Structure 1
């Protein structure tokens, strides 16, 4: 009997302000439960460790991204282990029984893939570990990939002038807003506001969320306006302009008119909504469409796998497993009279979602999928919902 265990988007950080992984005991228990079995392959389907939002990496020169990647010290792996020792010890116990661990690279941990020091440090810490840009199982016809490759704002591109990799706009948004929004309002607003705002899903609900928290806490500042001004300032930066010109040359020229003539919060909201809609952040899983194309054999992998060293080894796909969108799901599709499946492993990171009306709650869904092969293929999914009373927030 062969078992495959999948989970994604843990975003385990080094204790900085954006490190909100708080499920060390749940993770340890899951690993120990499966440590009793042999012949188990664990897949961490991208963004297992959080590097992009590490406070020590905010001053990177993203205009020279490939050079900046090499400047990341492997000390950050040590820092993450010090903050989350149970994660590392439980992974080591899991691997002791001969079980294998496959770490699939996402967009928040891309440095591990391209920085030899980081990669070797992680391999040193965790036995039986393989770090890969994606995984294709020829026997099961199964593709495991993070999914940011199909997200317009979080996929990599190539600078036509230099031939070098351009980072995703999503990474620059995160870094810019931490420096120019979080740090400027730090101490002026409750810490939970800075903790929660970038966990709001879908992102377009941020407009309602900022309005509600401003009233609830009587902040005395228009938080939405301030956030929007910083966001628009980000879109005027050299890094964002270069990204727009490379990826969307037509919209790059179009956006200049609006950004240079920003005239009020309503117009600003329209601009932000247009930009955010590039990600198609809706309440549904927008990766389903891409998964269906993968299952139908309609994907040009070389186009989507920029930066991930595609090896031209993906043939027919009967099952695809992703993460990235922080929304777990399990779907079965009929493709040419053959059942095929799509699993999204969601995230162990907290999600702030609108409930009824304009109320929000903060909760975590600790999801995993287990695929067992014993002649037939059996797929079981499980979710532990973690919701604390204090986290029904508004």
Structure 2
């Protein structure tokens, strides 16, 4: 491309400080350096993790920043040492690195990478370096990706090549929420054919977990949420029952235990609440139940006793659904292309970059028709595929 090796001026949504709206600015995007890829972002989704960073107490050192990490685009140019990508490739950024060289990447036991967290600040969750600048100031990249920009520069270990025919404005939600929920059921819980499952929280991640339970062959999938309007959507993804905790005077785990003759085989917590984690744990059958923590929560603790596990019950955690990030994202896009998973059904709005705060406000206030048409607005992830 004729822009290769040159600074690109483009639009981006810049968050200058916490608790203030993002501002559409003209930024400068420098050429990629060693092992980096410059990507023209075609579409991005809005995830609750972006909202968390902006409004819910993220470290002040994480600003100014370009948020966004669920996206799809086209490689504009590559830096020295990049052999996996060439200009014109369709790609998706991913927040979790996969270097393929470290002992964690080489192990089938984990999807973690030794380099993943050395490249992102633990306090601010922003990349430790950036090629973006505005008004003479360096602009950080949330999750090392920064996709609320027309162009961004990302390390090649955080970029996945995808099918050349993939519709970029459809597949972008796969790069976080859908893979997280779906993989937590299939890869982490390892849901079994004929089993019973409970999914707590019916945002996008929870709906994807429902989809994963169905794909794994679960016979009974109980969707748990306080909003009854979400059940029709959950049924589309495979839920067989819906339980609203507000409809019961007893703890919800007791309701589920009674419904399933002792507890479900698998439970997935997709809210990020300690109280819900405890409910999910105690809803599983003590002899062999598996509870997976999927919801994101950095600061709050939950309580459990040794006797919760001594009979055979277990608990696991999941990040990005257990997928080796780059490989898994490529695989999931292919599954979508082969019509083996649903993605279009998660998208509820299409908006321009200049509407980014409208999208965030919809998620923040939960004042949108999404409860009828798609995933929940608040707490559980994206509502928008933002088209540039």
Structure in which a larger fraction of residues adopt helix:
1
Q: TM-score range by the shorter chain?
A: under 0.3
State the TM-score, normalizing by the size of structure 1. 0.23
